[in-house]
Structure 1
Amino acid sequence: MKKSPNLIFHILFLLLLISPSVFSWKKDEFRNCNQTPFCKRARSRKPGSCNLIATEVSISDDGDLIAKLIPKTQENNESQDAPVEVDSKPLLLTVSVYQDGILRLKIDEEQSLNPPKKRFEVPDVILDEFLSKKLYLQRLSEEKIDNDLGFSSVVYLDGDYEGVLRHDPFEVFVRERGNGKRVLSINSNGLFDFEQLREKKEGDDWEERFRSHTDTRPYGPQSISFDVSFFGADIVSGIPEHATSLALKPTSGPGVDGFSEPYRLFNLDVFEYIDESPFGLYGSIPFMISHGKARGSSGFFWLNAAEMQIDVFGTGWNAGQDKIMMPVDEKRIDTLWMSEAGVVDAFFFVGPGPKDVIRQYTSVTGRPAMPQLFSTAYHQCRWNYRDEEDVFDVDSKFDEHDIPYDVLWLDIDHTDGRRYFTWDKVLFPNPEEMQNKLAAKGRHMVTIVDPHIKRDDNYYIHKEASDNGYYIKDASNRDFDGWCWSGSSSYTDMVNPHIRSWWADKFSYGNYVGSTPSLYVWNDMNEPSVFNGPELTMPRDALHFGGIEHRELHNVYGYYFHMATSNGLVKRGNGKDRPFVLSRAFFPGTQRYGAVWTGDNTAEWEHLRVSVPMLLTLGLTGISFSGADVGGFFGNPEPDLLVRWYQLGAYYPFFRAHAHQDTKRREPWLFGERNTELIREAIHTRYMFLPYFYTLFREANMTGTPVIRPLWMEFPAEEETFSNDEAFMVGNSLLVQGVYTQRAKHVSVYLPGEQSWYDLRSGAAYKGGKRHKFEALEDSVPAFQRAGTIIPRKDRFRRSSTQMGTDPYTLVIALNSSKEAEGELYIDDGKSFEFENGAYIHRHFKFSNGKLTSSNAAPSGAGGNRFSTDCTVERIILLGLSPAPKSALIEPANQKVGVQLGPLTIRHGNSPSFLTIRRPNVRIEDDWTIKIL
């Protein structure tokens, strides 16, 4: 009997529901560059093929540099060997300058010439605060560049840099004042191309086909491509999300090995993604940062939400070309940026240090949100904890085995038939009581809320959305109907601010029945994932608010969904408490709304290894609060891998274990007594360092500097750090090196800098600026405290971070060769927005001349005036101090205390002894001095 296509699809869909792993990553499910016409066209262009020149250059009434880009005519094109685009209309170019050395370049079709539609510009990403910092250009200077026949326009950027618009040939670059050295440029290789919208003529075939799907493309080709050059660069990084190295490998040019595809930015639901691939994953951030020993760092950001492909050119990619607009021997890395749609809205960041570039980028897209304290601790997740009895059993086992945790998560099967905002009444009959029992121990819950809404007229969310026209439309302007976990589903149009507000209201206690103040949210599948869609996502010709095609905004959809959910939790609490929302999809600005994770990884050693460059890249692009599923989402990790993952994951900014429903249960106590002990130790390490992590989250919130950092961020002149993405810095004080091979016996660790490093377990000092070989101890991964730093800890272990609130602190002082050290501690109530009104404590610790001083690090008039704590300092550990003193004097109390020998950590009584000041009992919020006698 012949089966209908619908019946066949339903059978396949049921198989998907039973075992999604059968849909693991398959290369032919997704397009490559040759199957993507705009990418193929852009890659085929030759250097120097751009034929545009800048004319009618002036300063606008808004204080911007404006010009028109027009093609050369045969009369003014002396070489006459470049194509002449006689049908092209002028493009409008605008250069704006902002404080802190940021240049913005916009290029779009001129609206006065009535293009068929207005091209999409991404809203709600750039901060209003940033826009208020625009500098009004007062005058325009002109000069000749190199051997140009005509003049170029030069604008002031800041005291050290200038922006230059080269008229003919068209080019925009930033250079250093005085020496004229270039920093960043667009179109130096003449690859700029802008496909203008046009009316469809008879015979035009604009449709594109991939597998069984047809994209109607009603507006035809509208892609943009251009080259960007980073001068003085040894490496470039950024443009997540890809499971590959931190330093991006070349994808085009001589000797390219393996990476022949561009880096793709197109949010996709990729089951069991492969490592070492330029293929795009769940999120897209078109921001790249360069770094070099000689020049430092610079950055480039293209605000565009359409599919993007980016080539990194290898050395010699343009050998033999004679149309390059810069000295061919100038050290640089060239890249090619290609997008299907949108406009040019690009930002140049001049640095010069890596932290400067990140500060500049996050001043445009926003600083990372300050998380609640509990969310920085350990999270336990699985698809799915079966029922309330399972929840309580897991919770009690953590206590039984003396393992702290803060959050228990519930996946899609806690709902009534995968209808979000509901509970399965049989499996979870008393959700409020369940949450309250966990909350009594200071613990929280997270439930999943995905964007696909089950098409069921008895489901109140669907009925409201359908009745009010809140769904994305298909190309025929009907509610889009796709398949996901809920079966036949539609997707709310989060581009519309009104619909986002409506969605946010659904998180109120009245609407989300069964939720409590200790319940938080997880947004999965928000790329968006559509199982029967092209490349498992939304068709590009689907329609959004204002007639915008999905192709124009695909990469920003998950961002708006995350935004609406986060705003919903804020509204739920009447604006008092900070939200916690985890999102799989992301875009520039995501850092303002919550955390992300690296998606459906696998229980493999290579996925453990690649988690580090993936998270470092997210941090470089503004998203500090990120993690990878500890243990791997798919597969069953052997105990060695699981333990090593916990030991490394304890230093991830977001620390969560998660597993697929088809995997064996893997709670920490299921792998034998010794492995339970090792996992407990790893989780205890995270809780010990929570004060330090929370302080780093505040630094990220203030400056954008990520919590975990590449070694070269702290040691920018050390070339050996440039390609090292197996070790990382936690703040400026800790260096962590993962163990990435099974049953490893030894680990090689490069310790940068001129100062010593102190082993966290033994306290032994090791010289910086060289590589060391260490035994791969089973009880930890190698981790070191940098000499010259002070780290705050809490050494008493409780059931959760909430129960640690009044516990005393330990300060670990690692002295440098000058017998000095510095560090900070940030404290607030851990949950509310009151810190924005000055309700916090920020202390600065300094050890110098045999004296430890605590002083207020908050700006004058802020901090400590609306928040207070009775917490004291319980211990002070001194590393690198000799000869050993016998006592210390506490001032202003004028109290003398003894200096004793004691273990480095409470739980390692067999470790070597170090100088310890016990129970000085100084209040953490006070000014005080402790002098070594």
Structure 2
Amino acid sequence: MQVTTSSGKYSAKHYPDTIREWKKEGNYFYFYTSETILEVRIISDKIVRFRYAADGKFQRDFSYAVSDRLEESPVNFGLREFEEAFELYTDALRVFIARDDMRLTITDPDGRIINQDEMGFHWQYYLQKGGKIVYCSKQIQEGERFYGMGDKPTDLNLFDKRIENYGTDAYGYQKDTDPLYRNIPFYYGLHKGMGYGIFFDNTFRTIFDFGKEREGTTSFWARGGEMNYYFIYGPELMKVAEAYTSITGTPELPPLWALGYQQCRWSYYPDKRVKEIAAEFRKREIPCDVIHLDIDYMEGFRCFTWSKEGFPEPAKMIKELADQGFKIVVIIDPGIKVDPEYGIYQQGTQQDYFCKRADGALMEGDVWPGKCVFPDYTNPEVRKWWAGLFKELVEMGVKGVWNDMNEPAVFEMGTFPEDVRHNYDGDAVSHRKAHNIYGHLMSKATAAGMRKFLMPNRPFVISRSCYAGAQRWSSLWTGDNVSSWDHLWLASIQCQRLAISGISFAGSDIGGFIGEPDGELYLRWIQLAVFHPLMRTHSASNETGFNQEPFSFGPEFEVLNKKFIQLRYQLLPYIYTTFRQYSKYGTPMLRPLSFVAQHDEKTLDRSHEFMMGDSLLVTHVSEPGMKAKELYLPEGQWYYYFNDQVYTGAQLITIPTPLDEMPLFVKAGAVIPNYDKIQYVEQRELSEEMILHVYYSDQIVSSSLYEDAGDHYGYKNGSYNDIRFKQTSDKQHFELRKKFFGQYKAAYKRHNVQVHGLPFKATQYVVDGKTFKLNNSNFAGGIVKIVVERNFETLVIK
């Protein structure tokens, strides 16, 4: 029975009734009630998809998020029937489906509840807009925490929060602003040491409630589409993260230069100013690889054009900068100026590639060029056309593209009206369904074009808006933030949250986009950004003409900013190795403490500290004038980076925070590869040494170093090196073993091994069986330094 509410917007809610029959088709199971069908797909022993047909008919099974490389790997699974429930089983899970109402209970093989429906799946007709609103509610388990959901600017633990996914141009957002630019409907639950994830693959406006509306209940729903979600069991949170990325896809390796420092401003104009900025970096010997060009490089803000006055010879300028080691990244927005003399507008209108309103009129709205129309990126023909537009930019020497305003943002309306129509890859829909994937598909088409025309080199794309799975082709930044200490904290939270939501290649506008930071705030932001995969300064135009470069804050801060940007470049081999781990396995590059020590209750609500890769623990200085900071170290032994003092973990400690230091720790036993000082990544080829910082431990500890050419696809054909280290030492003996896999010919010939923290007085070392005496030149500040050939296999110090 349907009952219309007083508002007339919604019908009464519908719930599944008794299951009448079931059937099995391969690894799919179907359960039928009088009007609802539940499809359960066993993807692996720890991944199960639940998909509901509310009124007996499934919609097209199509996703812009799921990777075409997702592999089904169920081995041992089946179904058992009981009087009150069906039991689906795998080696790792038990899924109980109640016969009378279809509610789910998911346990491990020992019967411990991992996740349990409260009301479970239900739905109602959306009378005002059409279609159905689909819901699912779950019970919150005792002590349960929730994480994920992209870069929501709120506490890391989402308990007692209600959040929404509807891509929004959130200029100057603050803590708890919602919605934001990005739309990633994926969260983690953790209780009693058991971690799981739920990915709700629905592109309509979605809402998630983690006990805010009703105590003891978490729920998620969408204003259209299907209830279609993936359940992922760990029990380790890191395994959940990797499994989620196996569903939504892993990224290719970026060009190594994209992991260097990037400088941006709205706007560097004209070309003379761009060259001046580049010259300042090189003169002051502050490392930098990338300069971004904001909208003013275009002719009247028309995409794919160059200002005749400001940039009359763009190819010449780009070549001059390339000779100095700089790459140029240009901004491209979706708004195409309405101008009959403008070639892109002509092509799009002739081929009917722009979005239309419900009555057939073009979707028009004001953005930077004035009145604009907008490509329908949900149409595969439009994506192909858009990709082709990057040919000329690449031929001029452009190496990367920055997609902005793609929520989509429209000045007078905020975004597109809901009646705008989209192709949706052959399934004509309204903007209600396409809104959250508009920017996602724009960046996908951009990346396809850049990849095609840059081949054999790798592209770099950065986007403001996206949906789940964008990591396959794009990096992100956190949007139009503010120059404040609160936003420095938000930058740390947002990048951690993005990393565990599948998108590690992300960063914030260093120093804040809106406003003017002082030297201290900018320095502390630089220090944090050293450990964000994307490291870019960006700032807005302002009346004072203030410039936000590392050398803009006076000599004292210039020296300190330079020191930490140099640290970034020294750590690039470690960061690139961590990116390769992410690319291959889906492992987040940034890891909240709860993800590396989930059985330690004291880590579960910590947000300031995080791991960058396997071996570096970082937190940021979070207040002006801060002299010391309290932080929590997980279990184990940890070296303070700046003086090698060793701390025992599983406790709170306090670290002094002078301006020239930050709270940075190295896990005992780790090998941290370093480049020598360079100004841009191509200079690494000039060095004949790779530095290995090794931190003594009496435990067996493994580390790795990944290397390849850094800017082409040879690594996919085996042109790479995967170097494995194992430290096996005791109180009187240090031993480092190395195994080498690969066929890439690196430029350097030697390793400069620098051993920290030896607990004994060393007198000799042995390399592959040959003994050498240590002399004064091997010792410096408590560190033992030994230069060995690159192909060494065993180093012993005693």
Q: Give the TM-score, by structure 1 length.
A: 0.81
Shift of 1:553: 2.1
Match of 1:620 in 2: 500
Shift of 1:313: 0.4
Aligned ranges 1:91-240 → 2 under 5 Å: 91-109=36-54, 122-130=62-70, 132-133=71-72, 135=74, 139-144=78-83, 151-157=84-90, 159-177=91-109, 179-185=110-116, 188-190=117-119, 192-196=121-125, 206=128, 217=129, 220=130, 222-229=132-139, 231=141, 234-240=144-150
Match of 2:616 in 1: 734
Query: Is 1:407 the equivalent of 2:407?
Result: no
Q: C-alpha separation between the residues in 1 aligned to 2:38 and 2:470?
A: 28
Match of 1:879 in 2: 756
Query: Is 1:439 the equivalent of 2:339?
Result: no
The one-character-per-residue Cα deviations of 1:588-624 (angstroms, maximum 9, x if unpaired) are: 1101002101000000000001111111110111001
Aligned residues: 783
Shift of 1:473: 1.0
Match of 2:4 in 1: none
User: Structure 1 counterpart of 2:630, which letter?
Assistant: S
Match of 1:543 in 2: 421
Shift of 1:135: 4.0
The one-character-per-residue Cα deviations of 1:706-740 (angstroms, maximum 9, x if unpaired) are: 11110122222111111111111111211111111
Shift of 1:805: 2.9
User: Structure 1 counterpart of 2:572, which letter?
Assistant: L
Q: C-alpha separation between the residues in 2 aligned to 1:191 and 1:98?
A: 21
Match of 1:55 in 2: 19
SS in 2 for 1:676: helix
Q: C-alpha separation between the residues in 1 aligned to 2:10 and 2:763?
A: 75
* Alignment partner of 1:428 out of 305, 311, 323: 311
* CA spacing shift, 1:490–1:310, aligned 2, 3 Å: same
The one-character-per-residue Cα deviations of 1:359-391 (angstroms, maximum 9, x if unpaired) are: 111111101331110001100000100111111
Match of 1:607 in 2: 487
Shift of 1:525: 0.7
Q: C-alpha separation between the residues in 2 aligned to 1:405 and 1:854?
A: 35
* CA spacing shift, 1:136–1:790, aligned 2, 3 Å: closer
Rg: which structure is higher? 1
Shift of 1:831: 1.2
User: Structure 1 counterpart of 2:782, which letter?
Assistant: F
* CA spacing shift, 1:712–1:657, aligned 2, 3 Å: same
Query: Is 1:896 the equivalent of 2:761?
Result: no
SS in 1 for 2:17: strand
The one-character-per-residue Cα deviations of 1:143-200 (angstroms, maximum 9, x if unpaired) are: 24xxxxxx3111123x1212222221221232111x3222123xx2216332347xxx
SS in 2 for 1:561: helix
Query: Is 1:288 the equivalent of 2:176?
Result: no
* Alignment partner of 1:680 out of 562, 572, 577: 562
- Mapped contact 1:897–1:917 kept (Cα < 8 A): no
Match of 2:370 in 1: 487
Match of 1:916 in 2: 784
Q: C-alpha separation between the residues in 1 aligned to 2:89 and 2:775?
A: 58
Match of 1:498 in 2: 381
Query: Is 1:355 the equivalent of 2:255?
Result: no
User: Once structures 1 and 2 are overlaid, which stretch shifts more, 134-143 or 263-272?
Assistant: 134-143
- Mapped contact 1:736–1:782 kept (Cα < 8 A): yes
Aligned ranges 1:366-765 → 2 under 5 Å: 366-509=249-392, 512=393, 515-516=396-397, 518-533=398-413, 536-545=414-423, 546-574=427-455, 576-662=456-542, 664-753=546-635, 755-765=636-646
* CA spacing shift, 1:857–1:623, aligned 2, 3 Å: farther
Shift of 1:101: 1.4
Q: C-alpha separation between the residues in 2 aligned to 1:919 and 1:135?
A: 49
Match of 2:3 in 1: none
User: Structure 1 counterpart of 2:722, which letter?
Assistant: H
Q: C-alpha separation between the residues in 2 aligned to 1:891 and 1:139?
A: 54
Query: Is 1:833 the equivalent of 2:713?
Result: yes
* CA spacing shift, 1:601–1:899, aligned 2, 3 Å: farther
Q: C-alpha separation between the residues in 1 aligned to 2:399 and 2:653?
A: 46
Shift of 1:931: 1.5
SS in 2 for 1:405: coil
Structure 1: gaps spanning 5 or more residues: 1-36, 71-89, 113-117, 145-150, 198-203, 207-216, 252-261, 319-332, 859-863, 905-912
Shift of 1:798: 1.9
Q: C-alpha separation between the residues in 2 aligned to 1:749 and 1:249?
A: 22
- Mapped contact 1:386–1:414 kept (Cα < 8 A): yes
- Mapped contact 1:888–1:932 kept (Cα < 8 A): yes
SS in 1 for 2:691: strand
User: Structure 1 counterpart of 2:755, which letter?
Assistant: L
- Mapped contact 1:875–1:916 kept (Cα < 8 A): no
SS in 1 for 2:183: coil
The one-character-per-residue Cα deviations of 1:321-356 (angstroms, maximum 9, x if unpaired) are: xxxxxxxxxxxx631112111111100001110111
Aligned ranges 1:920-931 → 2 under 5 Å: 920=788, 922-923=789-790, 926-931=791-796
- Mapped contact 2:172–2:482 kept (Cα < 8 A): yes
Match of 1:201 in 2: none
* CA spacing shift, 1:166–1:801, aligned 2, 3 Å: same
* CA spacing shift, 1:584–1:658, aligned 2, 3 Å: same
- Mapped contact 2:10–2:124 kept (Cα < 8 A): no
The one-character-per-residue Cα deviations of 1:424-467 (angstroms, maximum 9, x if unpaired) are: 01111111111111212322010001111111111111111111
Match of 1:32 in 2: none
User: Structure 2 counterpart of 1:143, which letter?
Assistant: F
Match of 1:275 in 2: 175
User: Structure 2 counterpart of 1:268, which letter?
Assistant: T
Q: C-alpha separation between the residues in 2 aligned to 1:706 and 1:165?
A: 33
Match of 1:244 in 2: 154
- Mapped contact 2:14–2:123 kept (Cα < 8 A): no
Shift of 1:538: 1.1
Q: C-alpha separation between the residues in 2 aligned to 1:513 and 1:361?
A: 34
Shift of 1:120: 6.7
Shift of 1:291: 2.3
Aligned ranges 1:771-810 → 2 under 5 Å: 771-794=652-675, 796-807=676-687, 808-810=689-691
- Mapped contact 1:790–1:821 kept (Cα < 8 A): no
* CA spacing shift, 1:423–1:101, aligned 2, 3 Å: same
Q: Give the TM-score, by structure 2 length.
A: 0.94
Q: C-alpha separation between the residues in 2 aligned to 1:137 and 1:683?
A: 51
- Mapped contact 1:194–1:223 kept (Cα < 8 A): yes
- Mapped contact 2:104–2:120 kept (Cα < 8 A): no
Aligned ranges 1:323-342 → 2 under 5 Å: 334-342=217-225
- Mapped contact 1:268–1:280 kept (Cα < 8 A): yes
Share of identical aligned residues, percent?
A: 28
SS in 2 for 1:52: coil
Structure 2: gaps spanning 5 or more residues: 1-6
SS in 2 for 1:95: strand
- Mapped contact 1:245–1:614 kept (Cα < 8 A): no
User: Structure 2 counterpart of 1:98, which letter?
Assistant: I
User: Structure 2 counterpart of 1:505, which letter?
Assistant: G
Q: C-alpha separation between the residues in 2 aligned to 1:65 and 1:142?
A: 13
Query: Is 1:68 the equivalent of 2:1?
Result: no
Match of 1:311 in 2: 209
Q: C-alpha separation between the residues in 2 aligned to 1:356 and 1:784?
A: 24
Give the root-mean-square deviation of aligned CA atoms. 2.3
SS in 1 for 2:658: coil
- Mapped contact 2:388–2:449 kept (Cα < 8 A): yes
User: Structure 2 counterpart of 1:661, which letter?
Assistant: S
User: Once structures 1 and 2 are overlaid, which stretch shifts more, 655-664 or 582-591?
Assistant: 655-664
Shift of 1:856: 3.4
Q: C-alpha separation between the residues in 1 aligned to 2:683 and 2:394?
A: 28
* CA spacing shift, 1:644–1:673, aligned 2, 3 Å: same
Match of 1:17 in 2: none
Shift of 1:898: 2.7
- Mapped contact 2:14–2:124 kept (Cα < 8 A): no
User: Structure 2 counterpart of 1:183, which letter?
Assistant: I
Q: Which runs of 4+ in 1 moved over 6 A?
A: 901-904
